[in-house]
Amino acid sequence: MIDYATAMTRTPVEVPEALFDALRAHFDEAQMVELTAAIAWENYRGRFNHAFGIESQGFADGAFCALPERGEAVVGAHVSDG
């Protein structure tokens, strides 16, 4: 899918038939339409924002999923009566 998204993002758009056929082997027509629309929308959004100089607002800067410290109880974990 990454190769497909990359091909769709290039100017001019050139999606090799072999790449499209490989995706069609895994996705039905409706799924291909949805995948293509999602890639096209993100490409449009990115180019639109770039044209207007709209940059990241920083909401994801430094974002990560914190892992519990070793030894901390994890919600839902089973503890044996050992």
**39 has a pLDDT exceeding 80:** yes
Output the pLDDT for position 77: 53
Contact 7, 16 (CB under 8 A): yes
Output the pLDDT for position 58: 74
Q: How far is CA 74 from CA 46, 65, 70, 81, in A?
A: 39, 14, 10, 16
pLDDT, one tens digit per residue, over 41-67 is 999 999 999 999 988 777 777 766 777
What is the residue extent of each domain of the chain?
2-51
Q: Which residue has 């339409």 as its token pair?
A: 33
Contact 4, 19 (CB under 8 A): yes
Q: How far apart are CA 39 and CA 2, in angstroms?
A: 10
**32 has a pLDDT exceeding 90:** yes
Instruction: Answer with the residue of higher pLDDT: 79 or 10.
Output: 10
